[in-house]
Amino acid sequence: MRERQYVIDAMTIQDSWRLFKILAEFVEGFEILGDIYPAVSIFGSARVRPGDPTYELTVEIAKKLAHNGYNIITGGGPGIMEAGNKGAREGGARSVGLNIELPMEQEANPYADVRINFKYFFVRKVMFVKYAQAYVAMPGGYGTLDEVFEALTLIQTRRIKPFPIILVGSEYWGGLLHWMRHTLLARGLISPEDPDLVMLADEPDQVVKIIKKYVIV
């Protein structure tokens, strides 16, 4: 088991000064991303490498979305994020990377033309939601699940307007959707319409078709 490094801000009497750092990240994000429209956020594992079928599928999806007039926003790091930025650049769209400072894994990829670095996850997640008109979730781990369920929760509670959340890969996501319907819904923990807040796709053209239906360029 590999040793984990933890970067946790110390809680001191100076804590209130951290608010200025948080505010600065919000201001920078709002100023840089304000004119990027329409945009699709693409999520997925940082551990997938070029040549992997999921990596190459992501490049193709991002490229097709770019050809159809959509800019691409990713987490700015390696793996699926890199593939999304690469496809955006190859397709001639704005390629945005919202990079997070982490002690491991996260290094900015070279394909993002617009780059913003964040220290605070919650500020970064606001940018993903505020400036995206659709979410595309490729196979990924905790971070990907976090982004998907963050968006689902905000839509379910009507804190934001509904937008397409597309899970790519029936084999990967099928078990989760089955659990949502046959455990969460069956026990009355979500409403009957809630599982329909997410859509499943396997092919790039399916992804583009769904997004074009809801987000007109």
> Over 80: is that where the pLDDT of 106 sits?
no
Per-residue pLDDT of 38-75, as tens digits, reads: 999 999 999 999 999 999 999 999 999 999 999 999 99
How far is the CA of 151 from the CAs of 41, 86, 127, 190, in angstroms? Answer: 11, 24, 12, 15
Residue at 115 is within a domain:
yes
Q: Does 24 map to a domain?
A: no
CATH of the domain at 85: 3.40.50.450
Confirm if 88 and 71 have CB atoms less than 8 A apart: yes
> What's the residue count for the chain?
217
- The mean pLDDT value of the chain amounts to 92
Would 137 be classed as within a structural domain? Answer: yes
Question: 153-164, pLDDT tens digit by residue?
Answer: 999 999 999 999
pLDDT band of residue 17 (cuts 50, 70, 90) is: confident
DSSP 217: -
Find the range with the poorest average confidence among 13-22, 67-76, 167-176.
13-22
* pLDDT over 80 at 10, yes or no: no
Contact call for residues 87 and 208 (beta carbons, < 8 A):
no
- Which range (12-21, 32-41, 164-173) has the least confidence? 12-21
Q: Would residue 175 count as lying in a domain?
A: yes
Does some domain include residue 109? yes
Does 55 map to a domain? yes
Q: State residue 16's pLDDT score.
A: 81
| Structural domain contains residue 153 | yes
Residue 178 phi/psi, 5-degree rounding, is -65, -45
Give the pLDDT confidence score for residue 74 in this predicted structure. Answer: 98
In a domain, 151, yes or no: yes
Residues linked to residue 35 through DSSP beta bridges, in sequence order: none
Query: What is the structure's pLDDT at 217?
Result: 74
Structural domain containing residue 165? 37-214
Q: How far apart are CA 109 and CA 83, in angstroms?
A: 9
Least confident interval from 67-71, 81-85, 117-121: 117-121
